[in-house]
Amino acid sequence: MTHTPRQAWAQVDLKTFPLLSTSELVAQCIQGLEANFVLISWFGRAALATEPAGVVVTAVLLPPGQPLVLLRGHAQPGAHYPSLTASFAGAQIFERELWEQTGLVPDGHPWLKPVRYEGARQGRMGEYPFFKVRGAEVHEVGVGPIHAGVIEPGHFRFMCHGERVHHLEIQLGYQHRGVEALLLKKPPQHLTPLVESMVGDSAVAYAWAFNSGLESLTNRPVALATIASRAIGLELERLAIHLSTLGGLATDTAYLQAAATYGRLRTAIINASQRACGNRFGRGWIRPGAAAPIGEPLRQDLLATLAAFLPDFVQVNTLMRSSRSVQARFQGVGTLTTQAALDLGVTGVVARASGVALDLRHSLPGAVYAAFAPAAHTETSGDCWARMSQRMQEAQASAQWLIDRLADTALNLADTPAPFAPLAPSAPGGCSGGWSLTPQALCVSLVEGVRGPVLLALETDASGQLAHAKVQDPSLANWYGEAFALRGQAISDFPICNKSFDLSYCGNDL
């Protein structure tokens, strides 16, 4: 390669990085958004003891075809600022979270309600200020937090006019475990098991995002084989969760043959992950500076598993897509138009199913995805059918990508430091010593997980200790897209809409 591919992280030296006023920060963000930058994140933290009182706000923007852009601003305690949401609806959830976590008030925000009931609001779930619809033939249906299936908790309030859903409001926070605070309690090189438990179905994506940040802050770049092994773990995870969602979609339409088949196919994939790293959910695949080595027997094993998997997967997809009852149930239901997807700032697989071609594996690929880009795919119709088709296509592309990479012996997939190689306690590698962090630095790292961009932002203080950690799941931005897609639909469309979005509750709730 003649140039370094765009990395999925950005690190800045805070000693020299400009700290804008909030009005300048908002103005620069709006300028970027008007130039079609994607607002990846907008978050804040209380000032450190060594800083002037108030709140430090960070904006993360992705310009088309360019590396990540970071902007930082400072606000007085409890300050008001002109809401970004007023001109760009996609900022709504970030501004709500910033308000909930730091008390900064976005003036003109139409929907300033808690995101997850954290901090002093914990346990006050009953106080959520739902919107009210009034009028003849108007009624409300509340569902959850506990649902009929084995599923994470969340409350859904349907405001209906007759059978039609006029508006759905989703209240989350029930899975809140305080993960951001916990990241500051242990040495960072020991945190990967915690990070893997933040969103258990995306353990590889989270572990990779966290460790690439840690490796950047410690200036310890990893070998190509390590990156390749991580990408293989990530694509197996993507495949497994898409299979789980497709199985759920089949179950929710009582299409039991496809449900049983997707269940069987998913088992083959997660058991393959287990043979690689000891766990069906990819836990242990990634550690600081390390990734599961794929030696010759394992490489052959994974190749054989995927070679047996792919034709059966294509076969059941064809069957499911040919079913008239599946077509009738999914087509034209729960539509999120391309314009709505752009306006609301939804991301990942949901955005691509609505025709928004955003995938970090292409826009910020790093060394491996730059050399070997997975096949890109978008759908246009934005309905449940599009989200089902998008998942089928992405899963198939991942399986093919895995087969191609595993067949490529030039990648030397065994040539990576292993997560569980025995180390002398003082050795400078692996999980032991030698992980001192660059002081006064901020690293924002991203990984395109199964649902979209997983963000980990790590900031160090003057002594090189972690001073703040921000975690962001793609679901945070996408839940509102789901609520919006339900408008004008029947309540009975909710299960297939919810499953076709397949968002993370714990990823929102942290």
Partner 1 sequence: MFQTLAVRKAQGTQYIADLRAAQPSGFRGKPVIATDACAPNCRACADICPSNAIQLNASTADAVAIDLGRCVLCGDCAPVCPSQKISFNNDVKLCATTRRGLVVSAAHPNIDPIAVSAALKKRFGRSLKLRSVSAGGCNGCEMEVNAWGNVNFDIGRYGIDLVASPRHADGIVLTGVVNRNMMDALQIAWQAVPEPKLLIAVGACAISGGVFAESETLAREFMDQYPPTLYVPGCPAHPLTFISGIMDLLGIAG
Please give the residues from 233 up to 272 whose contact with partner 1 meets the rule CB under 8 A: 244, 257-258, 260-261, 263-264, 267, 271
Tell me how far apart the alpha carbons of residues 121 and 370 are, in angstroms, rounded to a whole number: 44
Report CA Rg, the chain.
Answer: 22
Q: Based on CB atoms, which residue is closest to partner 1, 169 or 509?
A: 509
d(CA 471, CA 508): 10
Piece of the chain touching partner 1 by CB under 8 A; list 59-67, 366-374, 415-423, 444-452: 415-423
Shortest reach from residue 102's CB to partner 1, in Å: 18
Candidates 282, 284, 280, 254; CA nearest to 266 is: 280
Among residues 121 and 377, whose Cβ is nearest to partner 1? 121
Cis amide prior to 145 (ω within 30 degrees): yes
414 binds partner 1, rule: CB under 8 A: no
Stretch near partner 1 under the rule CB under 8 A, chosen from 18-26, 159-167, 279-287, 365-373: 279-287
Tell which positions 287-346 bind partner 1, by CB under 8 A: 287, 312, 315-316, 318-319, 322
Contact 114/507 with Cβ under 8 angstroms? Answer: no
Binding mask 465-504 for partner 1 (x = CB under 8 A): ---------------------------------------x
Segment holding 442, helix H or strand E: strand 441-448
Binds partner 1 (CB under 8 A): choice among 60, 125, 225, 341? 125
Joined together, the tokens standing for residue 432 give 């032991």
Q: Which is nearer to partner 1, 135 or 149 (CB)?
A: 149
> Which residue's CB is nearer to partner 1, number 349 or number 431?
431
Smallest separation, CB 27 to partner 1 (Å): 36
Residue 156 CA to residue 116 CA, distance in Å, equals 14
Distance between CA 296 and CA 500 in Å, rounded? 37
The correct pick among 113, 161, 164, 275 for binding partner 1 (CB under 8 A) is 275
Site string for partner 1, 425-444 (x = CB under 8 A): x----xxx------------
Nearer to partner 1, 353 or 506 (CB): 506
The verdict on 164 binding partner 1 (CB under 8 A) reads: no
Q: Which of 6, 242, 283, 352 binds partner 1 (CB under 8 A)?
A: 283
Residues 170-199 binding partner 1 (CB under 8 A) are: 173-179, 181-182, 185-186, 190-194, 196-199
What type of residue sits at position 452? G
Which residues inside 23-82 make contact with partner 1, applying CB under 8 A? none
Tokens representing 75 are 């606000």
Q: Which residues, listed in sequence order, are joined to residue 466 by a DSSP beta bridge?
A: 460
- Tell me if residue 467 falls in helix, strand or coil: strand
DSSP state of 412: -
- In the complex, the smallest distance separating the C-beta of residue 120 from partner 1, rounded to whole angstroms, is 11
* Residue 195 CB contacts under 8 Å (≥ 6 apart), including other chains: 183, 206, 207, 210, 456
CB of 271 to partner 1, least distance (A): 7
Contact call for residue 280 and partner 1 (CB under 8 A): yes
Instruction: Decide whether 135 or 422 has the Cβ nearer to partner 1.
Output: 422
Pairing relation of β-strands 290-291 and 286-287? antiparallel
CA 149/CA 152 separation, integer angstroms: 9
Please select the residue that binds partner 1; options are 233, 419, 452, 474, rule is CB under 8 A. Answer: 419
Q: Which among 500, 204, 199 has a CA at the least distance from the CA of 350?
A: 500
Q: How many CB atoms lie within 10 A of CB 96?
A: 21
Q: Is 149 in the site for partner 1 (CB under 8 A)?
A: yes
